[in-house]
Structure 1
Amino acid sequence: MNNKLLIIGASGHGKVVADIALRMKKWQTIAFLDDDHSIKSSMGLEVIGTSNDASSYLNECDFFVGVGNNETRQRIHESLNKAGANIPVLIHPHAIIGSQVDIGGGTVVMAGVIINCCTKISKGCIINTGATIDHDNYIREYVHISPGVNLAGSVVVGGKSWIGIGSSISNNVNITSECQVGAGSVVVKDITEPGVYVGVPVRRI
């Protein structure tokens, strides 16, 4: 671990990531990289370059990808990982993490989240504000669990899926990769085909 943290992405999601990093009090210096040259600072923190400058800081900084889009986050994260960057886990001090919970690098766990025991969350995920994830869940790589989502026990969410705000997933449900579940939806049985799903219970559209 380094005493400096660089966050790639200084817009909405990046701001929340920075706020969590500040509250964790693990880094002496936190700054941003952003490809929008008009952004000079965010959250009172300086934007010191673009994402192309990341390689210049590999030996002195930890890195975190503060980008909400799953595919973009994956691309940047994997590029940093290949370059040997140290990519930490960010957990808000007001999140509750149970026993035997495994969280992969580059995942952010936001305020009010509850993750119960024996759950695995892979790299590069977003577990957003107030979400609850019960026991024995498996959240695969680069998933976004939106604010207020509730996952019951033994749920599997496939890679790069996005579970919309306020959705609920019943216990023992498997959701395949690259799915989008609309806001307020309810999933009561397995989703086996990628696509967009909405409704109570969900249907594919």
Structure 2
Amino acid sequence: MSIIIFGTGGHAKVVLDTVNAAQHEVRGVVDDRWSLPVWRDVPHLGSRLTLPNIVAMHTDAAWIVAIGDAEIRRQVATQLESLGAVFATLIHPTAIIGTGVQVGSGSVVMAGAILQADVQVGRHTIINTSSTVDHDCRIADYVHLSPGVRLAGDVCVEEATHLGIGACSIPGVRIGRYSTVGAGAVVIEDIPSHVVAVGCPAKIVKRKEKNDAD
């Protein structure tokens, strides 16, 4: 598989390592903030302004939007979809994938992650380094599980929510859309949409304005 990466930030570096570990070809990168012809030995193909031309020239390549921010990731993915781009599903060879697991297009499962039986992961979602997602969890589109997140069985994480490094949950809870669960937080009850929750146990400390979140 030949892959084009959108992004040149820290997350994109890890995505590039994952692409290489999975022995896919890296066709190039696209980023507005990079002006040199090469990034980490990979050709720089252009910027977001030139996406129509890039997609048209590389119809045989699949894309990964390597941007941590969920809303920007959504915007870029939506633009690429409108141009007819297709997306890769990227899984590091050291990840453990159980039976019945489904991972949506554009999503990345990083090194050491574990997805147990019948987990469902949506599109353009990040399952970061050494995160574990137990049986029957449902992880929606544009979610980011940071490194070391631990989800027990039958947890639902709704669209575009971010769980910070080392956060964990008991079985069966639901975490609403566009929410943030802080680093090291322990979720023992449902978390609503558009909030920030931190601590052990996780408690709501802020409600997000919807126009700030989506």
Contact 1:160 1:178 in 2 (8 A): yes
Distance 1:48 1:57, change over 3 A: closer
Deviations 1:139-167 (A, max 9, x none): 01100000000000000001010000001
Say whether 1:19 aligns with 2:13: no
Q: Where does residue 160 of structure 1 map in the other structure? A: 160
- TM-score where L is the length of structure 1: 0.94
Q: Where does residue 50 of structure 2 map in the other structure? A: 53
Contact 2:179 2:192 in 1 (8 A): no
- TM-score where L is the length of structure 2: 0.90
* Counterparts of residues 1-205 of structure 1 (less than 5 Å): 3-27=1-25, 29-58=26-55, 59-205=59-205
Contact 1:8 1:33 in 2 (8 A): yes
Query: More deviation in 95-104 or 191-200?
Result: 191-200
User: Counterparts of 1:76 and 1:193 in 2: how far apart (Å)?
Assistant: 23
Deviation at 1:48, TM superposition (A): 2.0
Q: Which consecutive segments of 4 or more residues in structure 1 shift more than 6 A? A: none
Query: More deviation in 51-60 or 163-172?
Result: 51-60
Deviations 1:138-197 (A, max 9, x none): 001100000000000000001010000001111000011011000000000111242100
Instruction: Let me know the Cα RMSD of the aligned residues.
Output: 1.3
Contact 1:146 1:163 in 2 (8 A): yes
> Aligned residues: percent identity?
37
Deviation at 1:47, TM superposition (A): 1.4
Contact 1:34 1:51 in 2 (8 A): yes
Deviations 1:82-127 (A, max 9, x none): 2221101010010000010011001000000000010100001000
Query: More deviation in 55-64 or 109-118?
Result: 55-64
Structure 1: which 5+ runs fail to align?
A: none
User: Counterparts of 2:16 and 2:193 in 1: how far apart (Å)?
Assistant: 35
Deviations 1:14-42 (A, max 9, x none): 11111111121232x43111101445433
The alignment partner of 1:48 has SS state of strand
Query: More deviation in 36-45 or 188-197?
Result: 36-45
